[in-house]
Structure formats: C-alpha cells, structure tokens
Structure 1
Amino acid sequence: MDLPTDNDLRCLGEILARAALDRHLTVVTAESCTGGWIAKTLTDLAGSSAWFDCGMVVYSYEAKQALLGVNPHTLETHGAVSRETVVEMVSGALVHSAASLAVAVTGIAGPGGGTPDKPVGTVWIGWKRRGGYPQAAVFHFEGDREAVRRQTVGRALRGLIEHAG
C-alpha cells in the first residue's frame, strides 16, 4: 500500500488548479466516505475560488437524495456504495452547481460497515464533465479508515486531472 502524503495531495491539487485555470473549468465535489477531504485539499490552495465552485458532503441517503437528486430506488436497489449511486451523485453535483467538472466518492472506509460483497475499503469514484458522460470505477483500498480515505482522495484528484485534460 502506497499512501499519498499530505504533500502528494497538495501537489495533485496544484496540478488540477493549473489545468482548471488553463481550460477555464470549475470543480464541484460530492463526497461521502471522505467527508469533505477532497474539497479541503483543493480549497487549501490560495486562489482556489477562481476554479473551485463548491463541495457537498452527503453521508445519509436523505442527503444524497436532497442535495444531489439521487433516486431513492437506486439507493434501495443498489445501496450507497455502487456504480449506479456514484453515477447519479456525480451527475447531480453538476446539476446542482455551476461547475463544469465533478467528482463523487462513496465507499466503506471502516472499520465497520463492510460485507462479503462490499468489504471495508470498497470505494466507487465517479467523474464527469458538464455535457459529457459519467465515468466510474471501483477501488479496493487497504488499511485503516485514514488510509482508505487518504487513498480515495488521491485517486479522486488524479481522476479529476485526467478528466480536466
């Protein structure tokens, strides 16, 4: 397991900032298991108000529905930690913001909450550009709660950089 350091996350944020500014993009985050860590990493950078629109922390089913428009049937059928949910989250983040690039994360950071089908460390990340199609990927991170969340932030930022290109 190769955990990104605080400096690694800052560097990823700086790369994203340059890409967003160069391409006139603004970013929105929709975060469940990371609790706003992606947004914090981005807004720790001076000048982030030029390219960071907003961040939503949506832990409960109700918050996912109210703030992002996630369909209750999706949550009931597939659960919060699923491709279907993260796709609706990332799409809803763009609908409910002025941003042009979105990331959404939902997962099981632990130490509890895992199941045989979705063990601790299972994280879905989705990315989408306004007018484009959502992309989503599942990851199986190892380690404790901090490690799972840190790895999620790093992978979410790398994906934002890729989608900004």
Structure 2
Amino acid sequence: MTHRRSVVVTEVVTRLSSIPDFAGAGKCARGRASAVPLELLPALTVTWGEAGEISIRRPMSGPNGEDGYDRTLPLSVVVHLRENDPEGEFDRICSLIEAKMEADVSLGGITIDLDLQSTRLFVDPRTGIPMSVGSLLYSIRYKTLATGPSISAL
C-alpha cells in the first residue's frame, strides 16, 4: 500500500522531469542521498520532509460513511544552480516550474489543488552572494480515508 503522499510526490517529479532542462537521468529527483554532481547542474530535488504535513479529520468522507482526512502537503522544489548569474537563472527556471505546475493544479486528478506559497533564492547573509540554490514551496491539498491513506476520499 503506497501512501497517497508518495503518489503526489512521484507525479510532481514526473511532471517536472518533462521540462526539457530537467529531462535527463538525475536532473530531477525525489530527495537525494548525496550532493548533485556538478555535471548535472542545473537540477531539481523534490521533497516534503522539510515541513510537516497537516491533516484534519473529516467525518463521512468515504463511500460508506468512513472518516477521512483533508491533508495539506508542503512540497519543496529545490533548484540547484550553476551559473554566473544565479538570480537570472533562478527566475528562468522558476518560470518553467511554475508554468508546469499551474498547467494542472489537480495533478491529473490525484489532488484537490495546489498553491505556490513562497519562492526563495538563498543568499549568504554575511556576503550577500547567492548560494546557487533556491526553492519553490507549494501547498498541495488532497483527501484520503483515515483507515486507508492510499485511498482517495470524497
């Protein structure tokens, strides 16, 4: 049984991997166990572990009156850069990601919707120099049965 959250994250990785800049092996991944090799940059890492998922119980969510959960998944798309102009490159990549994510906010019907919550280019606070990494934080809403986190609820 695969948690619905995993289905959502896998779908986001699939969609972002269809952007030509991130179509190659290792260019877009769910989480990473090591640093992105220099030759793969720019690259994307999709992760939800940075912030906790919020769940609210909702009675009568299943076809037989079962309880369910309204879930809100904070999903980060980390952008790893390799550029002399990280701000310009970050904005270019954000345009590609935002267009792809907004093309279908239900991710093919597996979610209710999604919202871009924040975008951030990380900068060394001591020097003001960009650190060649940024992120887009999405809030993705979906529903599951309480007793079946892999099953979509009404």
Which TM-score applies when normalising by structure 2? Answer: 0.32
Q: Which has the higher helix share?
A: 1
TM-score, scaled to structure 1: 0.30
> Structure 1 or 2: larger strand share?
2
